[in-house]
Chains A and B, each alone.
Chain A
Amino acid sequence: MIEYIITVLLIAAIYALFSLGLNLEWGFTGLINFGHVAFFAIGAYTTVLLNLSGVPLLLSVIAGILLAGVCGGLLGIPTLKLRADYLAIVTIGFAEIIRFILLNEEWLTGGPMGVHGFSRPFQGLIQSDYNFFLLQVVLIVLVVCYLLLEKLIKSPWGRVLKSIREDEDVPTSLGKNVFYYKIQALVLGSMIAGLAGSLLAFYLQYINPRNFMPVETFYAWIAVVLGGSGNNRGTILGAIILWSFFSGTRFAQVYLPFSPTQMGALRILFIGLLLIIVMMFKPEGLLGKKEELTLEK
């Protein structure tokens, strides 16, 4: 049972980190990124492939973070000068391109069979339950990222992002280079997703393209919207609720008269219902501020 709780917390914490990246982009800057999972995948694959070719683990993780950030920046350059909806469409396409590369470039990525056999941090030194150790690592990373993001968001830098979220004509008329700030948000958000991807690989020990389906992006969206767009604590809470629910219903499987396939469909149905109810009674999300509601009535 305790191992099970550790696993649930581990997944929730990794997705919380992943969702924090999206919250920076959408919650604070108003960028609609529907391909966040691409950077999750880039972080995970870069880390494990470099490690398998002999690069030390820490360097591999850093390379994964940097490559995710570079890809975010390259994607932003042609799209962020356009209207918000273009970024949404381009990011969906980008995420699918990445997934198809992972699926088809077998010489590099192992194709549908994926990659395994890479090392995990301090693997040899941990005598007890490795997941418990990994949970501590992930929690430390999550807390550090949370504190850094909070510091940035509460700074004048964060103020510029929020002004862009509401009406980019205002910061523009006051001399702020809006495009440059959007790129920064997208790069930073993608780097956080890349880091979360490395951690996911360490947890799974075996990664393949099915871990990076488009729906992963929308799990992050659910966490952000549920917890409250533009609220980092809310995002973490949203991720914990979402993954506790997913795992809890898996646990309840034995007591319910549904097949696993039916349960899978029911889970999504209930998440949808939960979102609708939250949006009806608390449209700003669980911890969001009503006055900062991003979507107007």
Chain B
Amino acid sequence: MNNYLIVAGIIFCIGALGVLMRKNLIIVFMSLELMFNAANLGFVAVSNRLNLISGDVFVIFVMVVAAAEAAVALGIIVAFYREKGTVDMDKANELKN
């Protein structure tokens, strides 16, 4: 189980790195999906180790939330692009001044 958790940790950290490092909104969104999936892998691994099913059921709910999040986030990205003509996150600075 430890191997699975460490792989999940590596993927989660890569996702976090993508969120912090990239400025392209679409790649930030895909990094978020990576983090979701790393968490899912952790749930399934622990649930398998402890002979439980709750973790596997929870993964289904995570998938539901990820699907809802994908629809809304992509809607936001399209609206942002229509407003600014770019997907650069740094252009979202109306609250700065």
Same complex for A and B? Answer no
